[in-house]
Structure 1
Amino acid sequence: METLEEDELCFPQLLNTSCTKLKRSQFEAILTYIILSSISLLTTTLNLLVIISISHFKQLHTPTNVLLLSLAVSDFFVGLIMFFQIVLINGCWFLGDIMCTVYQYTAYVITSASVGTMVLISVDRYVAICDPLHYSTKVTLKRVQVCVCVCWICSVIYQSFLLKDNLEQPGKYIPCSGQCVVTGDYIAGLADLFFSFIGPVTVVVVLYMRVFVVAVSQARAMRSHVVSVTFKGTVSVTVKKSELKAALTLGVVVVIFLICLSFVICLFYFNSCLNPLIYAFFYPWFRKCLKIIITLQLLQPDSCEANIL
């Protein structure tokens, strides 16, 4: 009976303070390991390709793509920290309190940055669709780069403040050896719920509802205008077709992100793997970049000047 109890503990030598392992069959543990490892590898690889593509090719240095780059960076790190989830397959953490705090802190920063980037993407599409004549002056490359930097810096500062006690005393809130958790007070939890979820989701939903209404109304106006002036030849349109396609693509990204964020952490991790697949499906430039990278044409002189669009 004593042997059985020891086998159920994360640290058998710490009989009184050790956490218990999760009860999983060998098949379930192996299957979970394979699935998480595959998602982690796929997520890091695909998002690294997005990062290389947007960073390397000058034609892709646009405000919208800078936002996609920020999202790809956060998704890339999500893929990396998934390796820590693999460590926790049996419910035991063997890397110590300091690494536990670093892991949890990094995960929270990445999540905050991802949510902030989604808000910026929504603002970008809102201006592009609802105020297209002033888009190029309002949304410049430099302004978007500054906004992205501010988003990441604020995420780091915000989570540092929120997890202050955990950073100062790693393992302070861990009830038993072998567990990896960070926590705070009730008020901080409510504030985090609002600033990291309710507030951003509300902004994203409102902006995209406005984008949808404007896009539909402009599409109807364009159709009626085409019918009335067909004999006059070409028609001037307020919103470019490419902008509408970008709004649709990023809208899909945002919706899937919100769905995954609203459910469980596994779906949130899987969402980071889905984003590059969405880009590959909707964006021809991403498929062209993949071909250039895979065939090593990227190493050729002046490859950054290649015609991607």
Structure 2
Amino acid sequence: MATIEQDDDRFGASQRSFLDRILEEYGSLQGLLFLLPTLTILSVIVFYPMLVNGLLLSFKQFTIPPTVADPWVGLENYKYWLIGGGQALFVFSLKMTLLYEFVVIPLDLVVALAAALVMNEAMPARPLWRGIMLAGYASPPIAAGLVFATMEQAATYGVIYQILSPIFDIPAGGGMTANSPWAFWAIVLAKVWRDFGFMYVVFLAGVQSVPSELYEIAKVDGAGPVQRFRNITLPHLRTIIVTVVMIRTVFTVGKVAIPWAVTKGGPVNYTTFLGVAIFKQAFINWSMGRAAALGMIFAVMVVPLILIWVKTETEDFS
């Protein structure tokens, strides 16, 4: 009897602590009521389409225009991707997506951090240069992708191709965008140029928040630029780096605009990342059911990234 009462007490304590954490996070019941309109809007424009329309669509053989009277096929669309005719494309797209993430995010980080460090130094017309650094991020992704696709062709305006070709011997037929593995790097260059501005702005704010007195003391002690960066700048930016990297990882993994604009998933399917594969199934093959099933699989794989991101937002790295 005592054991049951103790279990009930622990259950009640856990319930109360969960409610206390919610109220502590949002202030009070009044704070939750203030969030209600936002949650309602998100439910209408995000959760309902994804969990209801998207999930139901994944169990149907739905094409445009519809070709069958009863489109319900159950798990057939999932079987197609996991053990059927689409398995090879799914596995290859998954590998290329992971490679894409492991290349783009570190390059984004290095370029953005270097730009922030340079733009924090005194130089002529510094406000102008700081603004120019954001030119890529201010550009529409489709426009940036098309411009880079042009510059990476072996043609009159193929500036990037003309610079890299003598060094790496890139085939002239189609330039970078039509030959593997150069098509992959063509997308990486476009993606990094277009998106590093977000990290750059955050890192610049973080670098400017470091007290200048620390650098002066380090200089007096004989610390060089590398030592100052490693022992002062990097520790101060640790939390920012973790948070920004997680944000970029979550919001890069499913983006379609730049890969589609640069290569359209080619040559063959070499740059068909998972997001591009979903797009092609839905709007090239008009197979909405298979596209929805692949989208659901993709969403399940992204959930751990989102959970890690949420954890980094609440964890103390100091």
Instruction: Specify the TM-score bucket, using the shorter chain as the normaliser.
Output: under 0.3
Q: TM-score w.r.t. structure 2 length?
A: 0.27
**Alignment TM-score, normalising by the size of structure 1:** 0.28
Find the structure with the greater CA-based Rg. 2
